[in-house]
Amino acid sequence: MSEMKRLDTSAPKQSLSSNEQLALYDRYGSLAYGIILQIIPQTHLAQEVLVELFASRYLQACSGQTTNLATCIVRLARARALEAKAQQLPLDAHSEEPTPLQPEDMPELVFDLAFRQGYAPDTIAEQLQIPKAEVMKGFHDYFKSLRQP
Amino acid sequence: MNTYQYITSGILETYLLGLASEEEKQEVERLAAANAEISAALSSLESEIERYFLQTAVPPPTDIRETIAREAQGSAIQKRGTNGQQRRPPEEPKGPEYHKVEVSDTHIRVHKLWRVAFLVVFILSKVFLALALYYYFKSAALEQEVIRLKTEITQMAPR
């Protein structure tokens, strides 16, 4: 929480010191690496993205955010991983077709397509031929299903 | 759409995961500022998302930390140079930038729960050792007692 407090009290555009970057890495490095690996299974590439995320100034974007630090890092890790995946593996980005939809699998599928594969909710709705509201509901249902034992 | 329908529509999840459009983001921020219920749902969801991703967390190799420290230090020095109005020759356009990541190390990183598990196993082993010693000496004493009693009985028996 100390890193978070430091960030919250600082000016929004103030840059992070290397110690603060390392402190954030110590706290959220594993979380970010787990997310990056979900999107890029190649470990060498995932590690490059992780280094880039924590060694560069991307983390400064979190200092002016209204959401908490962990959520911001989740978003940044996903965005950087998807960007790297698009650059390194352009063929894979378009080779995956959504699988036939089963109602019980929909929340998981929607989460996978949007979070791990980078499809926009509108695109998912179009590809799955369902209303966008249903796609959005899929996100809520996915996290709801995680709450159930 | 009432507050409950809004909270359960999935818009808060897409906002927190960075999947919402700019218009949707602004809408969520405006409504969260005006509605305590939405704001509370957002906070609760943030914690839930953090918990979920902590479950899927993977410890990176230990050398990554050193690489980040080196790179962060390098960029800090470069930044100080820029702030001090130092003139630098224009850099030649480079190809894609690669980060050197060492993967050969002699250390392993394990989940922190292993520390607790190790302590529990260590304490239990000490307890069992103490119990084993206690019962060993007790049984030895009893054995001596049995031998003594047997000897007494033998001596008292009529010849």
Report the CATH number at residue A68.
1.10.1740
User: A64, A89, A114: which is the final residue of a domain?
Assistant: A89
Q: A37 vs chain B: nearest CA distance in angstroms?
A: 8
Domain membership of residue B8 (yes or no) is yes
Are B67 and B21 members of one domain? no
SS3 state of residue A84: helix
SS3 state of residue B95: coil
H helix or E strand, kind and range, residue A136 = helix A132-147
Residues on chain B touching A3 (C-beta within 8 angstroms):
none
Q: What is the reported pLDDT for A149?
A: 62
- pLDDT at position A133 over 50: yes
The parent domain of residue A140 ranges over 96-147
Are B115 and B105 members of one domain? no
User: A42, A69, A89: which is the final residue of a domain?
Assistant: A89
ipTM for this prediction:
0.76
Kindly report, residue by residue over B96-112, the tens digit of the pLDDT.
556 565 556 677 778 88
Are A117 and A83 members of one domain? no
Among A51, A49, A38, A43, CA closest to B55: A38
Residues on chain A touching B56 (C-beta within 8 angstroms):
34-35, 38
How would residue B21 be classed by pLDDT, with cut points 50, 70 and 90?
A: confident
Are B116 and B159 members of one domain? yes
Are A13 and A59 members of one domain? yes
Tokens representing A65 are: 């955010």
Q: A80 vs chain B: nearest CA distance in angstroms?
A: 12
Domain count, chain A: 2
Determine if residue B18 is left, alpha or beta; phi over 0 gives left, psi from -120 to 50 gives alpha, anything else beta: left
Note whether A67 contacts B98, CB cutoff 8 Å: no
Domain membership of residue B131 (yes or no) is yes
A48 touches chain B (CB under 8 A): yes
Kindly report, residue by residue over B125-137, the tens digit of the pLDDT.
999 999 999 999 9
The parent domain of residue B78 ranges over 62-88+100-109
* Angle subtended at Cα B14 by Cα B8 and Cα B17, rounded to the nearest 5 degrees: 130
Q: Which residue has the higher pLDDT, A59 or B118?
A: B118
**Ranges A69-73, A84-88, B47-51, B83-87: which has the least confidence:** B83-87
